[in-house]
Amino acid sequence: MRMLRIAAAASLLLPLAAQAANPVTCAKIDRAQVVKLFDTWNATAMKGTPAQLAALYTDDAVLLPAVSNKPRYTKAQRIEFFSKFDQKRAVGHVDEHRVQLGCNAAIDSGVYTLTLAQGGHVKARYTLVYVYDGKRWLIANHHSSAMPSVHEPD
């Protein structure tokens, strides 16, 4: 299963001709559907349980959260993190993003703002890598990092 996810993510980088040499059945998804995957994550973060939020990830997903320096590699670690995250009831808003589509994989990268229920917000860069497990789209990698306080000239 892990190799399938790696192959799916790698398919985003391979030219179509190379993918044609090793045909696989690719689940159909478009950019609007990828945006809805984030909307599902966001709604679950606001109203769901930590276990429901963790269920949106593959069993071996990597979570590198913006509001913690500790990576989460297991479902138990993600639930533990989301239990603390749950107390903050953060609401995400995508400020800008780009979606890349591949065979059984999609990448959504950009900038979002997490607004915390008790006040304040965190503006962060993010990348979500989704993979299709044969039944549904799940997050295989979620990397988020707070925007630096010092800005370089553009």
**pLDDT per position as a tens digit, 36-65:** 999 999 899 888 899 999 999 999 999 998
pLDDT digits (tens, 9 = 90+) for 120-129: 888 899 999 9
CA pseudo-torsion sign 71, 73, 77, 79: positive
Given this model, what pLDDT does residue 60 score?
A: 95
Residue 98, pLDDT above cutoff 80 = yes
Q: What are phi and psi of 133, to 5 degrees?
A: -95, 10
Q: How confident is the model at residue 89 (pLDDT cuts 50, 70, 90)?
A: low
pLDDT (0 to 100) of residue 153 = 62
pLDDT at residue number 126: 94
Find residue 62's DSSP bridge partners: 141
Residue 94, classified by CB atoms within 10 Å of its CB into exposed (0-12), middle (13-18) or buried (19+), is: middle
* Angle at the Cα of 59 from the Cα atoms of 50 and 46, rounded to 5 degrees: 25
pLDDT in tens, 60-88: 999 998 878 899 999 999 999 988 865 55
Question: Does pLDDT of 148 surpass 70?
Answer: yes
Distances (CA, A) of 109 to 44, 101, 145: 19, 12, 12
pLDDT at 9: 54
- Whether 57 and 141 have beta carbons less than 8 Å apart is answered as no
Q: Per residue in 6-37, pLDDT tens?
A: 555 555 555 555 556 667 899 999 999 999 99
Domains of the chain: 2-146 (3.10.450.50)
